[in-house]
Amino acid sequence: MLGLRTHVWIFVGFLAAVITGVPIGLWMGQKMSARTAFLPILNFFRNLSPLAWIPFAILWFGVGDAAAIFLIFLSAFFPVVLAAMAAVASIPAVYFRVAESYGLCGFDKTLQVTLPAIMPQLITMLRVTAGLCWLVVVAAEMIAGRDGLGFAVMDSRNGLRMDLLGAEMIVIGAIGVLLDRVLVRLTRIPSVRWGYER
């Protein structure tokens, strides 16, 4: 199902999940009624393994990149929403009172107060979620792939090529570390750096 080219689509699915998930999480974090209504649904879908969606992905999107994007999106969307929601709900109320004293409201308050306050927590969740997305891609290749690293791992195992299996595991781990290092660079943004200083 997933080929080597599909690994590029990790970023597409992950980015789509962040673009849609963060605003929804911000909204739910600020609205108690939204949390009450939608949190049980989010928790239900969050606890479903993304791999369980493979048959549906193939049925709806066929064998190809669209199915891969769908699986990556599902892997990232629900954790991102819940992380953003929890981060917003934990912001001290005094932050918003000070912002209102300075005349900030609506989008300006979100941009200048809410987002900087939650970014350290959000970046941590993005790092965890990116690793999860990478694991889902490799696992999906093991289950339903015809090429790619996951398929190569299964092929090496079936052929008892432990040398190739070890090399492939090293490559999988190295790519995961590289993804994490890319996201770590977000902590150097001036408006975010304060959350990592001791």
> Who has greater pLDDT, 144 or 163?
163
Looking at domain 4-196, its CATH architecture is Orthogonal Bundle (1.10)
Half-sphere exposure of 68 (CA within 13 A, CB side): 25
Percent of the chain with pLDDT over 70: 83
Q: Are 83 and 122 in contact (CB under 8 A)?
A: yes
Mean local confidence (pLDDT), 119-126: 84
Q: Are 195 and 91 in contact (CB under 8 A)?
A: no
Taking alpha carbons only, the member of 118, 101, 98 closest to residue 26 is: 118
The two tokens of residue 38 are: 């939608």
Instruction: Express each pLDDT in 61-116 by its tens digit.
Output: 876 677 778 888 888 899 899 888 888 888 877 877 777 787 777 777 777 778 87
- Whole-angstrom distance, CA of residue 72 vs CA of residue 21: 13
Entry pTM: 0.76
Domain ranges of the chain: 4-196
